[in-house]
Copies of this chain bind each other. A is one copy, B any other.
Amino acid sequence: MEPAGVLPQAAWRLDADPRVGPDEVRVAVDRLNLDAASYRQLRESCRGRAEAMRAAVLEIIAQRGKMQNPVTGSGGMLTGTVEEAGPQSPLGLAAGDRIATLVSLSLTPLAITDGLASWDGRSEQVPCRGHAILFGRSIAVPLPDDLPGPLALAVLDVCGAPALTHRVVSELTRSAGPADSAAGRPVVAILGAAGKSGSLSAAAARRAGAGTVIGVVPTEAEEVVLRRSGLADRVVIADARDPVALSDAVLGAGGPADVTVVCVDVPGCEGGAVLATAQGGTVIFFSMATSFTAAALGAEGVAADVTMLIGNGYVPGHAQMALGLIRAEPGVRGIFERRT
């Protein structure tokens, strides 16, 4: 609705009218999953008081027609049941389908009708009643029957990372030709490998044929978790914000990396990721704390011929790949169950 002409993600305010257009879908919402940065900001600014948090979220949604935190700019995702699909909707959904959306709440028209009465503010998962509108180019997937809801939500929230990691590593292993040993196969470093997107990306890298997966974690506690998971061939402790320490750690563990995957959520990791990567290699930035200029000028400043990818949250088949990994890899599932 304003400003005119921009895409929904960039808009200040959306139209949350429940009537669906010919290619739209209306969903009866039962749960919002606020993204971590937004939830933390709300909790801190409201000093953890549930009533204030409910009021803050309700005011944002009423003002903006979507749940986009004006401070962080971020949103989250939702689950619900399809109520009505327009005749030209390409999403393949029918009334009664239980779904999760894979596009951000920051671009999804939304209205809440129950005052968030069931939310105690102690979790980023917000039970609610209301409706949301999906566009023709939105993405939604059926909720799996065989996984607990919170686990499935947590997996779907980060499913772009393993999919893009798999694609990039696969392209390298394909051009390297078949090989039975690690020799000649790509070295992949995962920064934040004991986290959600990191553990999925480590499993995806191995499945795509990586020769060595180096998991980088910030603490001894996370080192123990990652070693137990078996997801990485080598585990090292380093502060990803310290470029020399990080690149030394990756070099000492078999690097430099042909592919470095940035899954940590603190600012200032661009230089270290570039230095830990081989000339001709690739850095994939999934952290929303990435600075475009720090990456661009930082790589130039050390004459690093690295390809730097903005981690696109959408890759065809991403949801099914991530759900497949959590089903097949006990190491990934263990990390997620600890964290959800």
Identify the A interface with B (CB < 8 A). 5-10, 73-74, 102-104, 106-107, 137-139, 160, 241-245, 268, 271, 275, 285, 288, 290-316
Contact = CB atoms under 8 A, between A and B. Distances in A.
A289 to B, nearest CB: 9
A104 B297 contact: yes
A138 B288 CA distance: 29
A305 B301 contact: no
A154 to B, nearest CB: 17
**A contacts with B: majority SS:** loop
A95 B2 CA distance: 60
Contact of A300 (B103, B291, B292): B103
A160 B299 CA distance: 11
A311 B300 CA distance: 10
A288 B293 CA distance: 6
B137 A298 contact: no
A268 B8 CA distance: 13
Contacts of A308: 309-310, 312
A198 to B, nearest CB: 17
A169 to B, nearest CB: 15
B303 A103 contact: yes
Given A288-B293, A308-B309, A300 B104 contact: yes
Contacts of A242: 5-6
A298 B310 CA distance: 11
Nearest to A68: B297
A9 B271 contact: yes
Contacts of A300: 102-104, 139, 160, 312-314
Contact of A310 (B6, B107, B292): B292
Nearest to A164: B307
B104 A301 contact: yes
A312 B304 contact: yes
A14 to B, nearest CB: 12
Contact of A307 (B5, B297, B309): B309
Nearest to A317: B305
Contacts of A290: 292
Contact of A299 (B5, B275, B313): B313
Contacts of A315: 305
9 contacts: A6-B271, A7-B298, A9-B298, A10-B271, A102-B300, A103-B301, A295-B310, A296-B310, A308-B310
A175 B139 CA distance: 31
A311 to B, nearest CB: 6
B298 A288 contact: no
A299 B312 contact: yes
